[in-house]
Each structure stands twice: as C-alpha cells, then as structure tokens.
Chains A and B, each alone.
Chain A
C-alpha cells in the first residue's frame, strides 16, 4: 500500500483533504502534490478506492475550482482554519492499538504472501530479469540463490579479519 509510505503528518493531510476539512490554500497544495508526486498520486488513488469500498460516495474536493482556490490563496484569503479536535488527535493512537491486533493477519497470510523483496510488486528491470531467470526457484529461495556465492563463503566472511591475520602470519608478512 503506497499510502503507508507517507509520513503520519502527510497522511493526516491527505485524509483531511479527502474529508474536505482543509482550508483552500492547503487543499490546493495537496492537489498539487497529488498531481506532481507519484507516491502521493498512488496514495490518493488507493484512499479513493478505500473510501469507495467503505461506501463513501462523496468525492474529494473537485478539480474545477482548483484555479479559484489557488487565486484565493495567492491573495492571502484565509479559509476556515484547520481544526484538529482531541478526538482526531487520538485517532492515530487508537488506530495503532487496533493495528497491533491486525498483526495476526500478516501472520496468517505470510505463507501465501507474494515476495516483494525481489521487486515482484513493482519490478525494476534488473529485478524483472532476476525474477525471470529464477522463475523456477521458489520465491522464498530466490534471495539465497541470487546471492549463492555470498552464502557459500559465509564461513569465510564471518571470520574474515581472523583469516586475513592468519594469512599474514602464515605468509610471514
């Protein structure tokens, strides 16, 4: 989920934007970030899908009035101040507590979870090459197979300083 890559403050802003609670200049700034930043764009689309899934029909602030709000912002017109009531401040803490309970879900789903460490979810060209060439290797072994020389020599690496010193003594250097 891309929205997990946003910081808590950014996520709160995006969330408030969705609920139409931001003053115009802040809403305009959020819209600009959505337009220009791929992570924000993706997070926006994911939250939009989430809101639809949750049954929310109200769309986020509409785009046609963006120009007007930017003009308002540039003229220094202040919209309603951003209110952060106590309940809203407590929401992340309560959500964190609930998320601890949700940790059991990844436990249960772990074995069937697609591997992301090799870039399967968003493959770069090199990750795609690795995945193609190791397609017959189970996902959970691909890291070991790709780095097989590293792990074949792990005993050497784990004692490298000592082996170097032994080498110096044996070679008389």
Chain B
C-alpha cells in the first residue's frame, strides 16, 4: 500500500513537472534567441498558425519560407538580434495585444505596395519622434485618441525637420506636409 502511494506521488510529480516545463523553460530563457518562440497552444502559437494556414491556402507558404530563409541568411547579426528581440517583445504581450498586432498585420499586408512603403516610412520617423519625447509626454500620448496623437506627432515631426534633427523625406515617401504641422 505504501508502495502504491509512493508511485502515485511520483506520477503526480512527473505530471506537474511535465505541465510546468514549458513555463520554466520560458523563465529560464535569458537570451532572445532562446525565448523567441511561442509555447505550444499559446495564443501566439495559434495566431501564427493562422497566418501559416492562410499561406497554405493561398499556396504561398513554400515560397514565403524560401524567401525568408534566404533573407535571414543575408541579415547582419545585429539585425537578427533585433528581430529576435521583437519576437520576445511580441510573446511577452498579453493575448489580447498579440491578437491586435496580428489583426494589424492582416490589414497591413492587404494594403497596396505603395501604401505599405509609406507606412514603413512613417514608422521610421515616428520612432525618432517618440524617442525624443519625455516619459510624461509619452504617457500623455497614450491617453489620446489616434487622431489627437497623430496631430501632436506630426507637429513634433515638423519641428524636428526645421531643426534639422530629422532627415528630410525622400521622393518615394508620402509628400504631403500636413496643415497641422504649420507653425
């Protein structure tokens, strides 16, 4: 009887250890490369599987994998590290936020090539502008509606352009200087 209880005890230990092993692994991952993968069954894994299935349905999975593999091989080590960090940042977000980002990705890839390029250019200057803000200014921005935030950021962008702290946009980017950016 004692032997039976001991075996049940051991079974319970193994069961719980097996269930918690992925969490422990994620906790153990100190470097982005080791952590940059979703746990099986997680929302992130499901969302990424959804993207994979979309590619299968459109017949583009093989081409996409080939393209990505070649591109990855040609990246600089620091670029790879940046994408690993972004993967970790994505996986650390809560499931609702992960879902939102995947939805945005769906909208983004549905845009025309020109529009996608314009969005990428905007993300570049947005990053510079936001990095120049104080913590309080960033908090204030978070409380605003997207339209209010866009207006403030366009104003700040115009200011940085005047001060020469932001490189002027090239001819391929969106040309319009917004009326809101005028002094």
On whether the beta carbons of B68 and A149 are closer than 8 Å, the reply is yes
Nearest CB on A from B83, distance (A): 4
Query: In the complex, A94→B62 CA distance in Å?
Result: 49
On whether the beta carbons of A144 and B149 are closer than 8 Å, the reply is no
Q: Which residue of B lies closest to A159 (CB)?
A: B126
Known: A136-B69, A166-B153. A155 touches B127 (CB 8 A): yes
Q: What sequence of 0s and 1s flags, for each residue 19-62 of chain B, a beta carbon within 8 Å of any chain A beta carbon?
A: 11110110111000110111110000100100111001000011
On whether the beta carbons of A91 and B14 are closer than 8 Å, the reply is no
Count A-side interface residues using an 8 Å CB cutoff: 75
Partner of B36, one of A1, A140, A162: A140
Using Cβ atoms and an 8 Å threshold, which residues of chain A touch B104? Answer: 156-157, 160
On whether the beta carbons of B12 and A91 are closer than 8 Å, the reply is yes
Query: In the complex, A106→B34 CA distance in Å?
Result: 13
Count B-side interface residues using an 8 Å CB cutoff: 82
Query: In the complex, A124→B5 CA distance in Å?
Result: 38
Partner of A141, one of B14, B72, B107, B124: B72
Closest 8 CB pairs of A and B: A95-B12, A165-B150, A99-B16, A4-B18, A1-B18, A165-B146, A106-B24, A160-B104
On whether the beta carbons of B123 and A113 are closer than 8 Å, the reply is no
On whether the beta carbons of A110 and B34 are closer than 8 Å, the reply is yes
Query: In the complex, A115→B39 CA distance in Å?
Result: 9
Identify which of B84-92, B132-140, B159-167 touches chain A.
B84-92
On whether the beta carbons of B7 and A103 are closer than 8 Å, the reply is no
Known: A15-B11, A154-B86, A160-B107. A87 touches B52 (CB 8 A): no
On whether the beta carbons of A95 and B176 are closer than 8 Å, the reply is no
Using Cβ atoms and an 8 Å threshold, which residues of chain A touch B145? Answer: 165
Partner of A158, one of B7, B9, B62, B101: B101
On whether the beta carbons of A133 and B62 are closer than 8 Å, the reply is yes
Using Cβ atoms and an 8 Å threshold, which residues of chain B touch A147? Answer: 48, 51, 87
Known: A154-B90, A168-B147, A169-B150. A143 touches B119 (CB 8 A): no
